[in-house]
Structure 1
Amino acid sequence: MIHRRVVLHFPGFEPLDSEAHRQRYQRSAAQAARVWESRFAVGPMSGMPENAHFIVDAAGDGWVTSSEIHIHDHNDLIASLRRDSLWRQIAAGFRAGLALVVQGAAFAYFRHAWRFGLFFLFPYLFIALGIAIGVEIAALPLTIDLHPLWLLLSLPLGYAAFRYGWMRLSDRYHVLHLLADWRLAVAIAENGQEVAAWIEREADRAERALATSADEVLVTSHSMGASLALSVIGRLIERNSPVLRDRRITFVTLGGAALQCSLLSSATLLRHRIGLVARHTQVDWFDIQCLTDPIHLYKCQTVALSGHPDAPQPKLVFVRFKNAMSAERYGRNRRDFLRMHRQYVLGPDQKSGFDFTLMTAGPLPALSFSDLHSARPPVF
């Protein structure tokens, strides 16, 4: 059993800072404590901002575990993408979409995971439909052969329908946030200046965190966080960092979307680092996926599709969210794709084979979850 653990967690594309992620973890841990009849005491954030982490002291029948969890959030990158005006965000989002098409990623999404391809198209089709409706309203006098002076009324009405009607509706579906997501995917693939600086800074943080003695070193990532986690750990391997020598690292991707970035033709550095992580003899990598979650490339091998078919491939581990959620909560949320995509890191309603809190703060080695049966709770 694990008595002391160090966790590096790379969250997905959400506008949350480290403290907000800690608070979410605390809420999920409270749910897990009730389900597993154990104690998960989540401490305050410390080491801010250059070494943000918190301690989880957990205990149950016959076991005590302390986990030091470091949050490698990228909220500053998200904030920079959402800082522009509405029209600049839309224009930049469509430029990113064009880059994804030109660099072959969009076609690869449909080839390997058509649901992820639809996820890619959604914000662009939504904006395009809104613009078409606004233009139709603006041109209505010409359409029904009214005097051109009516354009003085229809043009501002068409603009208002799009800007204050359609785009207000878009907030419900997080459309601008999704456009920013694709913009960051392109920036990661191209190793843009801000992204490269973030990777260097977080690699320094990870190196300091991994210098701590522990029974287990665990790196977890959710969604787009997989690309950033692979970049950071790959960067440590490039540095030949001494913290990676003679100690095993369990590397877990949760609904990992590294292929979102690595399938772009410009993502040569990211694909190189994916290969470094996959081939590193001290890294045990497995990928947890769920059919109910369309916002990742289900049943796809990240390493092979990133150009390393001869490297060791991460084990694919499949879970079913309905095994961990109550029937009422599952029924209420199953059609909310963004909500279901977050379930990997949220708390359980009942015992099942996988629980994020138990894996990151419980007594079992994280690698044991690579052999989980989704409906069968672990024994500890």
Structure 2
Amino acid sequence: MQGGQQGGQVARRVVFYIPGFDPHPPRRYRELYRKEGAEQARLSGYDLGLAPSDKGAAFGWTVTARIEGAEVVSRFEVLVWHDLVKAAMPGGVLATYGQLARTAWVYIASGALGPLIGLRKGPLLAAMYPVAVLLGQLALALALAWLLAEALAGLMPGGAAVLLAVPVVWLVLRGFQRLDGRIFAHYLMHDFAYSAARGGAYDPALETRLAAFGARIRAALDEGADEVLVVGHSSGAHLGATVLADLIRAGLPEGPVLSFLTLGQAVPMVSFLPRAGRLRADLALMAGQGRVPWVDVSAPGDGCTFALCDPVAVTGVAPPGARWPLVLSAAFSQTLSAGKQAQLRRRYFRLHFQYLCAFDALPDAPDAYDYFRVTAGPRTLWARFGARAPSPGRIARPASPWRDLAP
């Protein structure tokens, strides 16, 4: 493998970050890296500085770091698809409830729901959260409308009372929608509905964007960097697998190490669906190839990920002699202090982003998971983690009811 052949040392790196289903513009990831990187540098005793990227056409930044006694320059680029996310998030209350009904039907009718529940309860509880909250909001709105109709029934004919009470349902639901920046029920419903809308098949607009992502990554291989690192977080994990699989099919040049890191993945939510043959083929290829080392990091403390589930193996498409991914745990219970864990308790959405943040109780070990050492330090991904054994909690039992591969 090239990482081993070249000694795994990095002085220059290009990092491509693929966000999950997020309607916010990519600058949020630069500011998150700035804030959390400074905190991790303070805690761990290394130097980390950000500057504007020298690639004006793309959104990103440059990191100059001194870590483990070496100076490294890393150029970051965010592969943008937030505009597609925003377009897939209907603004109307009725549209969200329509998505709820359609999405529930897709997972139930396809037979995917039972096997998903059997893998991990956490992600399915996360999936049930928007369903329960939206149905609860609807029940409350109907109850208030009924109470109003009852109160007006003695003052006017019953039909008129009902007509006056009906708008209360919409007003209450609209009020809850305005509070969704705190509740996240509508947002999470849009997320699950996006994957389910085509039964796991990619939207044509997203396919076009993935091809553009691949072209940018391919171009970076000619920049003279020591490592090109692709990082996929949440839904960005399976998008990254597809982009890299397409690049491998097209043929990759000899040259810099090309590495793949997935964080907080929820791949089975897509790969278990009937029309996800394209993704299943990409996962199978990525598991068996020998060019791109793939490390998958998750944590049981993150309720929005299929923690420690090998995304290829559980989908049932791992080829004979599959090499990837190396499944590791970020072990929040060991890498975050008791105080930090208490601060983050029940902040499920924030915990899902912890992989991109500072850890205040990291062990003093070179192969401990530290996002900033991985993306700005002097060792390739595989040089850093290649000696580690897979997490003992790794789940590799094939569970998907659909295992066909797209041609």
The two structures have a TM-score, normalised by structure 2, of 0.83
What is the CA-CA distance between 1:229 and the residue it aligns to? 0.5
Does the CA contact (< 8 Å) of 1:4 and 1:214 recur in 2? yes
Partner amino acid, structure 2, of 1:264:
L
Does the CA contact (< 8 Å) of 2:228 and 2:259 recur in 1? yes
Runs of 4+ more than 4 Å apart: 141-147, 370-373
Is residue 39 from structure 1 mapped to residue 47 from structure 2 by the alignment? yes
1:63 to 1:171, Cα distance in 2 relative to 1, 3 A = closer
CA distance in structure 2 between the partners assigned to 1:312 and 1:253 by the alignment = 15
Is residue 278 from structure 1 mapped to residue 287 from structure 2 by the alignment? yes
Does the CA contact (< 8 Å) of 1:12 and 1:222 recur in 2? yes
Does the CA contact (< 8 Å) of 1:10 and 1:73 recur in 2? yes
CA distance in structure 2 between the partners assigned to 1:130 and 1:337 by the alignment = 20
Match of 2:63 in 1: 56
Partner amino acid, structure 1, of 2:136:
L
CA distance in structure 2 between the partners assigned to 1:246 and 1:61 by the alignment = 25
1:216 to 205, 227, 252: 227
Partner amino acid, structure 2, of 1:172:
R
Give the match's secondary structure for 2:293. Answer: strand
Match of 2:402 in 1: none
Match of 2:385 in 1: 369
What is the CA-CA distance between 1:348 and the residue it aligns to? 2.8
Match of 2:120 in 1: 113
Give the match's secondary structure for 1:8. Answer: strand
Give CA-to-partner distance per residue, 1:84-120, whole Å, 9 cap, x none.
3332233234323322332333222202112211111
Task: State how 1:66-85 maps to structure 2 within 5 Å.
Answer: 66-85=73-92
CA distance in structure 1 between the partners assigned to 2:325 and 2:68 by the alignment = 33
CA distance in structure 2 between the partners assigned to 1:288 and 1:59 by the alignment = 24
1:85 to 1:46, Cα distance in 2 relative to 1, 3 A = farther
More divergent stretch after superposition (224-233 vs 179-188): 179-188
Task: State how 1:208-287 maps to structure 2 within 5 Å.
Answer: 208-240=219-251, 242-243=252-253, 245=254, 247-287=256-296
What is the CA-CA distance between 1:25 and the residue it aligns to? 1.0
Unaligned runs of 5+ in 2: 1-8, 390-407
CA distance in structure 1 between the partners assigned to 2:88 and 2:266 by the alignment = 19
Give CA-to-partner distance per residue, 1:318-339, whole Å, 9 cap, x none.
1222444343332011211111
Is residue 354 from structure 1 mapped to residue 335 from structure 2 by the alignment? no
Q: CA RMSD in A?
A: 2.5
* Number of equivalent positions: 370
What is the CA-CA distance between 1:159 and the residue it aligns to? 3.1
Give the match's secondary structure for 1:73. Answer: coil
Kindly, what percent of the aligned residue pairs are identical? Answer: 25
Match of 1:378 in 2: none
Is residue 203 from structure 1 mapped to residue 208 from structure 2 by the alignment? no
CA distance in structure 1 between the partners assigned to 2:134 and 2:184 by the alignment = 12
1:112 to 1:350, Cα distance in 2 relative to 1, 3 A = closer
More divergent stretch after superposition (308-317 vs 256-265): 308-317
The two structures have a TM-score, normalised by structure 1, of 0.88
Give CA-to-partner distance per residue, 1:173-205, whole Å, 9 cap, x none.
211110111122235721211111111111111
CA distance in structure 2 between the partners assigned to 1:212 and 1:45 by the alignment = 14
1:179 to 1:63, Cα distance in 2 relative to 1, 3 A = same
